[in-house]
Structure 1
Amino acid sequence: MSFSFFKPSRPRSPQEVAKAIKDSLMALDNKTVVEVKALEKALEEVEKNFGTMRCVLCGDGETEPSMDQVTLLVQEICKEDVIALMIHKLAILGWEARKDLVHCWSILLKHKVGSTYYCVQYIENHFELLDFLVVCYDNKEIALNCGNMLRECIKFEILAKYILDSASFQLFFKFVELPNFDVASDAFSTFKDLLTKHGTVVAEYLTAHYDEFFDSYEKLLTSNNYVTRRQSLKLLSEFLLESPNSHIMKRYILEVRYLKVMMTLLKDSSKNIQISAFHIFKVFVANPNKPQEVKVILAKNHEKLLELLHNLSVGKGAEDEQFDEEKELIVKEIERLARLPILES
């Protein structure tokens, strides 16, 4: 009697796994809404193949993944254009398949042989995939999955640079204010990573697109949405005060329109926003090279500004002491400007 049918089937090779994923993803193209059963079966096949991919990349809980097998799978996935298929089919996939894909995405991108990141290199040759992922914030069903995948991409300078320089970057100014709170928050996380992860690249971008960027950013700072105002103000402090952006900050604090924005935010009903605004406002005031226009605005509004500053405090402890010291210096400078002969604008 033969018991051979009890033997476990031979594990599929990385080449076979990649081909199976590709075939199952492409099969989704051949299904129509009428063929509901066929579509369900195709989606199940994709889910099963993604599960296999996850096992190869992460191990099965009992055995560690084989780096040789991982390398072969990554190479095959790129060679067979599976990366592009996975991104383009994301909206059709079921919840479990999406979860597996997002989990595997980070491993696929980070895996390298020698100095080559195969999947990153693949995306470099297909930059339109990054644009596609950005636009997916408009689809709330997959927005969070795409956000996760984008942030993994942004860890690589070359990919972050492409997004910053692309037309799709401007979409973030819309996405961070989407009515769906979870999607808007996720979009803001990605926006923040783009502006903080790679200092030199960000400095180059801001230098080349200064007017366009800060025109759009001003709308976030003056938004009716409290969360948008607070997050964008905090982020502005983070990237403006980075050393690679020192020349951007020096330019920013010469502009009366942005000083007026900070003065308005100092009057905000939220104490958190007031304090964040102070940390940028103080740079305008402390600047030893203030243009005449800035001096005039500060002098003309000195009474209201001094009243606002008098009522502003952060709490107790060492942080409070430093804040009070800074505030005292700013108060003295505003008082000094107010005593100057009448300034003509």
Structure 2
Amino acid sequence: MSFSFFRGSSRSPRSTPQSDLAKAIHDSLLALDSKTASKALEEVEKNIATMRQVLSGDGDAEPNPEQVSKLALDICKEDVLSLLVQNLPTLGWKARKDLVHCWCILLGQTDGFTYCCVDYLEKHVELLDFLVMCYNNKEIALNCGSMLRECVKYPTLAKYILESASFELFFKYVELANFDIASDALCTFKELLTRHETAVSQFLSGHYEQFFKLYEKLLTSSNYVTRRQSLKILSEFLLEPPNSQIMKQYITEVRFLKIMMALLEDSSKNIQISAFHMFKVFVANPNKPPEIIDTLSKNCEALLRQLHNLPTSKGGEDEQFEEERDLIINEITRVSQLSNAIT
């Protein structure tokens, strides 16, 4: 594969088409701060389109793996990744789209030992923070979301985002007024909390109080989508085996039980059902603390009425759901009777 601007004879003996392209992107990005910024932007966007062609092929020819790998190495060497991220707000729509496409390919490139672009981001974590904060910019929010989710595929990058101060911004982003951006942020938020079980478990162990205090606001949000999706995500990561100790701690706290009890009365049938699947873990816990027992006993009548009124869907899962519901009803009744007998 050849490109017109590679054909000059002035190239040094050691230069390659890939290193020339990386250098061209680097120089054109730096030129964005010059007096000829508009011309530089045209050059940047042309170079990004050329980069996409090298990485993806041109439709007639498949990409050359060696060229792709070499380009990834040269892009890291020339600090192109930093410049691309920092100048993302300046790029036009088509260039941003091309960049996202290239980003996904570049992060997957390895020199046989390490993912060179991932390694680069590990050394320049401020770029991850920048991408997270870009959710505040509606023009580039969705592009940054796609780039972040690609980063989250790699445990070291996901771990950094989870433990960074910028992670807390997601609790705001998922409730943004712009539905598309809020949905995209929720998708990234879910990936962070469900993709790498060990990293998530370590994060939750070290940030238990801070995290669940923020998460409580999502579960009690006035926004239906936020309530439903945060409840769904909670059940996904909390019930994972590596999070068993976190889950055991969570189901001993009355404040969280009361949230599930409130969600059982939500106007949405879908939320009621999802809440039940979390609520039943509190009730089925064989080591319920006195505070949990007391709360279940005091609210026994209302809970039984709510459980009997839970909606069921048509299908093969009805029978299992009804069995679980009956078991929970029986356990609440037993706990209440025992508590009343003691008092």
TM-score between both structures, scaled by the size of structure 1: 0.94
Paired residues for 1:190-201 under 5 Å: 190-201=188-199
2:149 is aligned to 151
- Distance of 1:116 and 1:64 partners within structure 2: 24
Q: Are 1:22 and 2:26 counterparts?
A: yes
Query: Following TM superposition, by how much is the alpha carbon of 1:41 offset from its aligned partner in structure 2, in angstroms?
Result: 2.1
Q: Are 1:188 and 2:186 counterparts?
A: yes
Residue identity opposite 2:318 in structure 1: D
> Which of these residues, 289, 302, 309, is aligned with residue 300 of structure 2?
302
Could you give the per-residue CA deviations for residues 127-179 of structure 1, whole angstroms, max 9, x where no partner exists?
11100100101111100000000000000000000001111111110111111
* Distance change (3 Å), C-alpha of 1:254 and 1:343: farther
Paired residues for 1:244-263 under 5 Å: 244-263=242-261
1:5 is aligned to none
SS in 1 for 2:222: coil
Paired residues for 1:1-345 under 5 Å: 9=4, 11=6, 13-31=17-35, 38-342=36-340
Residue identity opposite 1:30 in structure 2: S
- Distance of 2:294 and 2:341 partners within structure 1: 6
CA contact (8 A) 2:294 2:339 kept: no
Residue identity opposite 1:314 in structure 2: T
CA contact (8 A) 1:221 1:233 kept: yes
Query: Following TM superposition, by how much is the alpha carbon of 1:323 offset from its aligned partner in structure 2, in angstroms?
Result: 0.5
Unaligned runs of 5+ in 2: 8-16
SS in 2 for 1:218: helix
Could you give the per-residue CA deviations for residues 18-77 of structure 1, whole angstroms, max 9, x where no partner exists?
11111111111114xxxxxx4332221111101110111111111111111112111110
- Distance of 1:40 and 1:99 partners within structure 2: 19
SS in 2 for 1:293: helix
2:10 is aligned to none
Unaligned runs of 5+ in 1: 1-7, 32-37
CA contact (8 A) 1:14 1:76 kept: yes
* Distance change (3 Å), C-alpha of 1:344 and 1:201: farther
Query: Following TM superposition, by how much is the alpha carbon of 1:342 offset from its aligned partner in structure 2, in angstroms?
Result: 2.8
Residue identity opposite 1:118 in structure 2: C
- Distance of 2:336 and 2:123 partners within structure 1: 59
CA contact (8 A) 1:57 1:65 kept: yes
2:12 is aligned to none
- Distance of 1:88 and 1:268 partners within structure 2: 44
CA contact (8 A) 1:296 1:344 kept: no
Residue identity opposite 1:273 in structure 2: I
CA contact (8 A) 1:313 1:320 kept: no
SS in 1 for 2:340: coil
- Distance of 1:216 and 1:125 partners within structure 2: 29
Query: Following TM superposition, by how much is the alpha carbon of 1:344 offset from its aligned partner in structure 2, in angstroms?
Result: 8.4
Superposed CA RMSD in Å reads 1.4
CA contact (8 A) 2:293 2:339 kept: no
Residue identity opposite 2:310 in structure 1: L
CA contact (8 A) 2:6 2:20 kept: no
Could you give the per-residue CA deviations for residues 65-99 of structure 1, whole angstroms, max 9, x where no partner exists?
11111121111100000000000000000011101
TM-score between both structures, scaled by the size of structure 2: 0.94
Could you give the per-residue CA deviations for residues 159-216 of structure 1, whole angstroms, max 9, x where no partner exists?
0000011111111101111111111100010000000000000000000000000000
* Distance change (3 Å), C-alpha of 1:263 and 1:57: same
- Distance of 2:186 and 2:258 partners within structure 1: 24
CA contact (8 A) 1:296 1:343 kept: no
CA contact (8 A) 1:56 1:69 kept: yes
The percentage of counterpart residues that share the same residue type is 66
* Distance change (3 Å), C-alpha of 1:164 and 1:92: same
- Distance of 1:343 and 1:96 partners within structure 2: 71
- Distance of 1:228 and 1:285 partners within structure 2: 25
